[in-house]
Structure 1
């Protein structure tokens, strides 16, 4: 399992089918609303606390969202679902379109050997032609753009609350997506492909650079 702390009340966990089997759980156990799902959630939180120090508050209403990934892996978003924990930024993060973790799963778990060309093409079709990457600071957004190898990508930079976002529009190949996603894991804090969350940003975010944001930020 691989863990990533999103914020004080949100944890992301990536787990392979093999790891689920070793723990004695099946996919049906995890996605169902049963005691088995609760047992699995408690086990994940215990492992996360031991490995990363992440601890959910005693009064937290713990919720879990699961997204299937190519290669039969799962991306889990575990968060405090209580009303007092919900902010605008957390609403954005909570969209469970966490297929973004595909790039990291390929790297960490070597899923490239098990994902067919047909599965990859289907995955790219599923995410559509837009992805959104979030950054905690403008400096990290700039550093990300300086490391992007692709030229001529349609991109727009936004600011929402105290965070910065980059929306990239392209007909992605699997190689391009791994490159973009891998850099996002290095410099950013999340990567989303859900249409609803991108539409929310486009409606409520402040446009910093409307066109060719990557190229313009690379020149700074």
Structure 2
């Protein structure tokens, strides 16, 4: 499943992102300001079950403008998780519990198969036989493959995207064969802790294939990221969510590049993610 988006602030109504897990399950990423605009209180949602029910129904109603999914069974289950920068990640399922468990088992089966293909006994035996820097590097590669499988980056269906209209972006799980690239606009990712930035990039690894430039501005590290090489908007959204989870702050890219060129210091040009991923 996709993890991994930005909420546009900068003087206008915040953006709500939807993406489809399956025909009866969606995820929504929403910012506190958008929740306030809907007439709800983020803190109260965690303690007021009636308000949470109304909030979830409002999300379902909004999602139906942009995503074709089945809601006839009503909301059967939900998970709401707070993210940094006053964001809330909500998963809503209209699937009956037994069916949901069967689908989760199918997903576990896929991930297990992917793991067995990526990390074989033979590959582990080869790492055991190494020593020194070669062993460390081989271990890091295996750890990265393990993280990719656990994050659903291997053999997972939910990756394709379509874009909604107005203030909403809707992400679905289907894309016409042959289409490629994302229309997701460039974003900035700001870290105050360089080590956390390195950890984040190490998780992505060289396979991210995103044009990215890193600047140092005062005590902060600002990475400008171009998502045009993403296979879908869903991957771009997952990237931004993960950055927030690692302590980064994400935002819309306006005049930062010109400002950083004049007032900051360019550290890595074009392949920042790839370079930083090798520093861990």
- Shorter-chain TM range is 0.3 to 0.5
Bigger proportion of residues as helix: 1
TM-score by length of 1: 0.47
- The structure whose Rg is larger is 2
TM-score by length of 2: 0.38
Q: Which has the higher contact order (CA 8 A, sep 6+)?
A: 2
